[in-house]
Amino acid sequence: MLGRASRARPSSNTARREIRWGPCAGVSYGGNVIRQVLLAHSDIERSYSYAFCGAPPFPVQDYVATIRVTPIVADGAAFVEWWATFDCAAEDRDQWVRHFEQEGFAKWLAALRHFLSDGGARADRRARARTCLA
């Protein structure tokens, strides 16, 4: 299991969420589409968990990742945790822990932080554009 520490979410630079029909969604990552299925979602806990849909794109089994957002009331910020559990060959464990932490979660969280750092201006521009088009 990966330790609970700030980790990430896909961005336009590293990955892109794509809409798919059926129970699976695809994320474009490194030129490949990784199919995922939602396992759990909680508005109360501000979290969701997902797994690979079909054959995993990495030599790991029973991969389940969870993302949780905890509000920080004092300053209106949030603490985002992203962790995973999985099985793999014992000799490959350190490699895959490092890969998911550094090449996945850390980059995706940095992209999320960057996206949110402009105070939601991007979302405001999109809303204004939709209003103008309507």
Topology classification of domain 15-133: Alpha-D-Glucose-1,6-Bisphosphate; Chain A, domain 4 (3.30.530)
pTM given for the model: 0.67
In sequence order, the β-bridge partners of residue 112 are none
Contacts of 70 (CB under 8 A, 6+ apart): 46, 78, 79, 80, 81
- Give the per-residue pLDDT at 88: 96
In sequence order, the β-bridge partners of residue 27 are 17, 34
**Most distant CA pair in the chain: distance in Å?**
57
Phi-psi region of 2 (alpha: psi -120 to 50; beta: other; left: phi over 0): beta
In the chain, where are the structural domains located?
15-133
pLDDT tens per residue across span 40-94: 999 999 999 999 988 888 999 999 999 999 999 999 889 999 999 999 999 999 9
